[in-house]
Structure 1
Amino acid sequence: MSDQPISRFPVATLEDVPTDIRDYVLAIQEKSGFVPNVFLALAHRPDECRAFMNYHDTLMDGDSGLTKAEREMIVVATSAANQCLYCVVSHGAILRIRAKDPLLADQVAVNYRKANISDRQRAMLDYAMKVALCSEDIEDADFAPLREHGFTQDDIWDIGAVAAFFAMSNRLANMASMRPNDEFYGLGR
């Protein structure tokens, strides 16, 4: 276990957070075997933590034409482009588990264009990267390749929403110098 700080900002302890946040984090701990540092780093601002968790869960676990693994691909690719160590490491672990592929997350993080993914997923990630890095340049023509691969209007929204949410998350994690848990590195390998 690292002795490096979790964040540049205050870090909550489970004993100090409101009951609803504590219950949420304990449920994750039960499932994963550890408390992801992001929750302790965000919990020092409970209202923001709740809003973050609610939107995260809606995007990543809600109904969508995208698989959960595809949503994680978006997070890993865009987080790598945004140089967010925390999100690449933590969501890379989740991607390995959800895709049942120990190599995919590393491929997507380094260069999704050379990763072992489908043409459909490549089109999805091309669009997600544009949302994450230069959303001001998005135009109607950007939707054509997605539609050609069968993405619906709702799917296209979901791709953009995941990329946009994690662009914000990446910036918060980088600003705080949030450290990924050591446990993430070995998951799904």
Structure 2
Amino acid sequence: MPHIQLADGVPGIRSLAMYRPETGKPLYELAQVLLRGESPLSQAERELIATYVSAQNNCNFCTQSHAAAARALFGPDRNVVDFVLSEYETAPISEKLKDLLTIAGRVQMDARTVSDEDVARAREHGASDRDIHDTVLIAATFCMFNRYVDGLSTLSPTDPAIYEPMGERLAQHGYAVPANSPA
């Protein structure tokens, strides 16, 4: 049960954006820029970073919703999401993305632990300054989102099937601020 009065049946950050639209709007705009805006990283890769950080933070709503979006964006390679969630070091992804996930994981635990060696290894595998920047910002932002969603104990369905349509919508339409009443 949420710690504050939120719209019935509206899960996660959507309910919080409806509760406080003046803060929800910039949060959704930030998610849109980070996950759908221009970047050398693909939308699927950026969703995967958000998913990985959310899983590390044990935020069910964000993990499930962004995993569903990443699966939709990866299309026929959708199983890569589950590989990454179980053991990204052996997942069928590029060495560059593995290095970026390492950096994202360090940001999630304690951002001060991102080392020169972590960055150098990512660069050796083709990461640019922008790749590294976007990874760190996505990781830091999702730590905040995860704590916001879980700190207010928002509705977080446990059935993964509930998140599939949400993931498809996110993949196709991006991050649009929800209406002030449930649809």
Say whether the fold is shared (TM-score over 0.5): yes
Distance 1:71 1:111 in 2: 18
Contact kept in structure 1, 2:12 and 2:62, CA below 8 Å: no
Task: Within 5 Å, give how 1:3-152 maps onto structure 2.
Answer: 7-12=2-7, 37-100=12-75, 101-152=77-128
Contact residue 76 and residue 87 of structure 1 kept, 8 A: yes
Pair 36,104 (structure 1): closer, same or farther in 2 beyond 3 Å: farther
Q: Which amino acid aligns with 1:178?
A: T
Q: Is the 8 A contact 2:107 2:136 kept in 1?
A: yes
The Cα offsets for residues 130-164 of structure 1, whole Å up to 9 and x where unpaired, read as 11111122233321111112211112100100000
Name the residue aligned to 2:144.
Answer: 168
**Distance in 2 of aligned mates of 1:53 and 1:9:** 20
How big is the shift at 1:53?
Answer: 0.7
Structure 1 gap segments, 5+ residues each: 14-34
CA distance in 2, matches of 1:185, 1:60: 18
Q: TM-score, normalised by structure 2?
A: 0.79
C-alpha change, 1:185 and 1:176, in structure 2 (3 Å) is farther
Which structure has more relative contact order (CA 8 Å, sep 6+)? It is 2
Distance 1:39 1:80 in 2: 19
Name the CA distance, whole Å, in 1 between partners of 2:100 and 2:140: 14
Equivalent pairs: percent with the same residue? Answer: 31
Shift of the alpha carbon at 1:46?
A: 1.6
Query: TM (normalized to structure 1)?
Result: 0.77
Instruction: Give the number of aligned pairs.
Output: 162
8 A Cα contact 2:17 2:25, kept in partner: no
Structure 2 alignment gaps of length 5 or more: 169-183
Letter in 2 for 1:148: E
User: Following the alignment from structure 2 to structure 1, what is the Cα–Cα distance between the partners of residues 78 and 126?
Assistant: 27
Separation of aligned partners in 1, 2:151 and 2:111: 21
Q: Which amino acid aligns with 1:8?
A: H
Shift of 1:38: 2.4
Computed over aligned residues only, the root mean square deviation of the Cα atoms, in angstroms, reads: 2.1
Aligned partners of 2:50 and 2:139 also within 8 Å: yes
- Distance (Å, rounded) in 2 between the aligned partners of 1:140 and 1:116: 25
